[in-house]
């Protein structure tokens, strides 16, 4: 089990920057992938960025080149640096994690994120 708490959301003008943080506690050493998702009312939650245990990153097309996901292992924190924000980036942002699960006799990283934070609101206005 891991516990996730996001912070750093807020209001910013179009073109501005914000940095989101996700404090991670619990079974930290068994995390195999971490991610940031976002959701707006009436829409599906979408993956924004993710990072695996070997630091492989993945970004949605809409944020690639503007957002950067990183991990501060010393502080057990997942970060999302968001630059050149646009009004369409307005959403509730969620931190998520996968931990290894035992499949018969092998530990595997599951396909779905199973642990979630409570979310933090990001609002971008003109």
Q: What is the pLDDT of residues 35-59, one digit of tens each?
A: 999 999 999 999 999 999 999 999 9
| Greatest pairwise CA separation for the chain in angstroms | 54
Closest CA to 16 of 93, 90, 83, 88: 83
pLDDT at position 96, please? 98
- The full DSSP string for 43-87 is S--EEEEEEETT--EEE-TTTBTTEEEEEEGGGTEEEEEE-S--G
DSSP state of 13: E
Report the C-alpha dihedral over residues 47, 66, 30, 91, rounded to 10 degrees: -40
Q: What is the pLDDT of residues 59-106, one digit of tens each?
A: 999 999 999 999 987 779 999 999 999 999 999 999 999 999 988 899
Lowest mean pLDDT among 10-14, 26-30, 77-81, 88-92: 26-30
Closest CA to 117 of 21, 43, 44, 11: 21
């Amino acid at each position: 089990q891991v516990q996730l708490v996001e912070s750093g959301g807020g209001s910013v003008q179009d073109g501005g920057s914000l940095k989101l943080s996700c404090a991670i506690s619990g079974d930290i050493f068994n995390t195999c992938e971490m991610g940031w998702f976002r959701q707006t009312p009436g829409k599906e939650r979408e993956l924004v960025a993710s990072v695996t245990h070997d630091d492989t990153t993945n970004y949605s097309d809409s944020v690639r080149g503007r957002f950067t996901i990183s991990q501060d292992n010393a502080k057990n924190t997942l970060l999302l640096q968001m630059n050149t924000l646009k009004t369409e980036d307005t959403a509730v942002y969620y931190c998520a994690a996968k931990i290894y699960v035992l499949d018969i006799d092998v530990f595997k990283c599951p396909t779905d994120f199973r642990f979630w934070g409570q979310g933090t609101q990001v609002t971008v206005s003109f």
